[in-house]
Structure 1
Amino acid sequence: MDTHIICIGNRLVAGDDFGPRVYDCLAGASLPADVHIVDGGLAGLDLLRHLENCRCAVFVDAVDGFAGPGELVVLSGDEVARQSTGGFDHGAGLPYLLRVLPAVLESQLPAVTLVGHEGHADEQAVLIAARLALLVAGKGGGDGRRP
């Protein structure tokens, strides 16, 4: 089973373009054969297909309220899923997807980690996040602690 680094967000909106910028950084990198990057954009529940038969999924996204401005944070999938408000609408996002994952995925659940960034990210932060996502992917998932 493979590992997926799934970069999510809207590249056209400042502040929500962190995931796509990390994707662009990783797209030009040499990756291990079992690590695949996904431009998840705004795919929402359509991202479920990338979790089927996946050993480890590392999401990369902008976050709000988990760290200080300009800081990177690593969260477990469970920590992210607990942020779900229970409703399903445009803003439900990754927490909702991870909350429903056990109910809809027929294969074994992957280890899920989020590499997030608070606020505006400069190029250095994007590069560090790309390296961190690869590191977490290589370990088969993170432990949900700050880097």
Structure 2
Amino acid sequence: MAVVDVRHSEIGDVYRLAANLRAGDAAEVAALGLNPAAALRTAYRDAILRRSYFVDGELAAMSGLCGALLADIGEPYLLTTPVAERVPLAFVRCARAAVAEMLSCRMRLEGRVDASYGRAVRLLEVLGFTLSEPRPCGPNGALFRVYSVVRSQS
């Protein structure tokens, strides 16, 4: 059985992840006109939460929460390597825990996902996010969907 380990991200994780992004993640970053290493470095620097996910010691993903320090809206990110595909159920459990942690910090989470990245769209739906209709975004007008979730009042 695979061992999944979640820990606070380190700057070296940024470069390991950027060099081994899953194809869909790389395409999404490119559609926004961004360089993966530069975009991840900025997200890492600006995040108030940073997590790296390892499967049997190999980097599988990084997530984080960005946004203005005193804002009610947080901007989550999640980028993966092919290693994440080895443990799909554990990966969903980790993603649920990450969303819960983010919602403990912010009332609402919101971001954009490449409308053609089916795996990412399905994951967001499984995690309880609402998705908008696709709209052009980025330098080439690629279609992206806004995703959002609000902390429950219970």
Asked whether the two chains share a fold, i.e. TM above 0.5, the reply is: no
Q: Which structure carries more helix by proportion?
A: 2
Larger radius of gyration: 2
Q: Which structure carries more strand by proportion?
A: 2
TM-score normalised over the length of structure 2: 0.31
TM-score normalised over the length of structure 1: 0.32
